[in-house]
Chain A
Amino acid sequence: MSGGTVRSLGKGSAPPGPVPEGLIRVYSMRFCPFAKRTLLVLRAKGIRHEVININLKNKPEWFFKKNPSGLVPVLETSLGQLICESAITCEYLDEAYPGKKLLPGDPYEKACQKMVFESFSKVPSLMVGFLGKQNKEDCSGLKEELHKEFSKLEEVLTDKKTTFFGGNSLSMIDYLIWPWFERLEALELNECVDHTPTLKLWMAAMKKDPTVSSLLTDVKTFQGFFNLYLQNSPEACDYGL
């Protein structure tokens, strides 16, 4: 199941049953960048999973038992174990499941990925600031801040002299930061990578990755979602279905 075609569950919906053995469940939302991280890792590692999309504008009461904060993503195992916080879910999946390791085995290389992740940490809240900005002038301060953050990431790539943030193959850190770059075009922010050529090359390389491309959301669908989301529409999360 790709999770891209399942209507979200909202208030009044019946709580889902237990997770069948051999599967892991992710509570998600098709347009949430944090949940996208978890979906990318599930796909990259070939983990059998089911997706339950949550209507974040009309949350089911039962969802607060899965995560008291009511946020996605949340993982639920067949043992009823719940894991919240996107980065924690991704690391959990990498550790708990066999196959290709997305985090490096070397302790220093692993620490480096976490340090890069820290230096990315301002980007999500900056990008939220662009949603619904009608007036271009409002954006110039925010754009400058975003430029600054992207320059930091550019420096990491140019210092390492590798295509990806963890080396010459794609790894965890690339998946963790990708969802915000996926949204740049829909937010009309492509120019923010104009002065960071290596970052731009990284974006192109990411789009060629089979996992990334299989989960790519197109610009029009994003924009349709953003539109409805800003109007607080309970239909937003299901846009395009």
Chain B
Amino acid sequence: MSDDATRTLGKGSTPPGPVPEGVIRLYSMRFCPYAHRTRLVLRAKGIRHEVININLRNKPEWYFTKHPFGQIPVLENSKCQLIYESVIACEYLDDAYPGRKLYPYDPYERARQKMLLELFYKVPHLTKECLVALRCGRDCADLKLALRQEFCNLEEILGYQNTVFFGGDCISMIDYLFWPWFERLEVYGIADCVNHTPTLRLWIAAMKQDPTVCSLLTDKNTFLGFLNLYFQNNPGAFDYGLSC
């Protein structure tokens, strides 16, 4: 079972104590793609961490002392330092912890990964809009077309580079930063958006073989259970699939 399989904290919950030394804490939610990025990096680098899941529809009052708008993910270390914005959190972990570096050492290669991230910026919004449209019974042909266009741009990059992953022949930070939205294509009902991008499909297959990605894969039925409850505005959605 994943190390973040804990019930969410909501309004009225007791604020957690300080973070013990030697551990870093992640405020998260099991189905959030942005938090997923940070969980991937924590796992990939083998960083000792604890996860506190937040009920995003019923946020604890104390949580606003961790993030001004109550967003996740947020990292908190034993020095009470708080880091937020998923990309900033991921870079912080890569900088602060030893072992395998997920960003390249070479400044130009680092810059390339950051430029690739810019190319990706429309994807989260578009995938979410498709999901909402489909769940509300609305047509999303235009949205899917726009998403396919974004995927074509990514396909072109992989084709031009002639590498398996976005950073080269090994998986690196940029792949982890993209992954959460690709993992969700099927459960969101938009897996056909990669029909015309074979190299991207190969990348998806390669990602699914990565031990870190694998270890954090959420089972399809659990995800669908969450989505069903979420769209019914059920505050229990975030804890779907957890045993009592």
- List residues of chain A with CB under 8 Å of any chain B CB: 77, 81, 83-85, 88-89, 91-92, 95-96, 107-108, 110-111, 114-115, 118
Contact = CB atoms under 8 A, between A and B. Distances in A.
B84 A91 contact: no
Contact of A115 (B85, B96, B110): B85
A91 B111 contact: yes
Given A108-B83, A110-B95, A111-B83, A92 B111 contact: yes
A147 to B, nearest CB: 17
Interface of B: 77, 79, 81, 83-85, 88-89, 91-92, 95-96, 107-108, 110-111, 114-115, 118
Contact of A95 (B84, B92, B107, B118): B107
B115 A85 contact: yes
15 contacts: A77-B108, A81-B108, A84-B115, A85-B114, A85-B115, A88-B115, A91-B111, A107-B92, A107-B95, A107-B96, A108-B92, A111-B95, A114-B85, A114-B91, A115-B84
Contacts of A110: 91-92, 95
Contacts of A81: 108
B83 A115 contact: yes
B76 to A, nearest CB: 11
A115 B88 contact: yes
B88 A118 contact: yes
A60 B29 CA distance: 48
A227 to B, nearest CB: 32
Contacts of B115: 83-85, 88
Contacts of A77: 108
Contacts of A83: 108, 111, 115
A82 B84 CA distance: 29
A89 B118 CA distance: 13
Contacts of A89: 111
Contacts of A108: 77, 79, 81, 83, 92, 96
A49 to B, nearest CB: 16
A81 B88 CA distance: 25
A193 B142 CA distance: 43
Given A83-B115, A85-B118, A118-B85, A92 B110 contact: yes
Contacts of A114: 85, 88, 91
Contacts of B88: 111, 114-115, 118
B24 to A, nearest CB: 11
A85 B113 CA distance: 12
Contacts of B107: 92, 95-96
Given A111-B91, A114-B88, A115-B88, A88 B114 contact: yes
A96 B106 CA distance: 8
A91 B85 CA distance: 18
A110 B96 CA distance: 10
Contacts of B85: 114-115, 118
B82 to A, nearest CB: 9
Contacts of B118: 84-85, 88
A9 B167 CA distance: 34
B27 to A, nearest CB: 15
A102 B100 CA distance: 25
A81 B85 CA distance: 29
Contacts of B114: 85, 88, 91
Contacts of A107: 92, 95-96
A108 B80 CA distance: 11
A58 B230 CA distance: 50
A60 B105 CA distance: 34
Contacts of B83: 108, 111, 115
Contacts of B110: 91-92, 95
Contacts of A85: 114-115, 118
A135 B64 CA distance: 39
A96 B108 contact: yes
A111 B38 CA distance: 14
Residue of A85, A108, A111, A115 ringed by the most chain B CB atoms within 10 A: A111
Given A91-B111, A107-B96, A108-B83, 16 more contacts: A77-B108, A81-B108, A83-B115, A85-B114, A88-B115, A92-B108, A92-B110, A95-B107, A96-B108, A107-B95, A110-B91, A110-B92, A111-B92, A114-B91, A115-B84, A118-B88
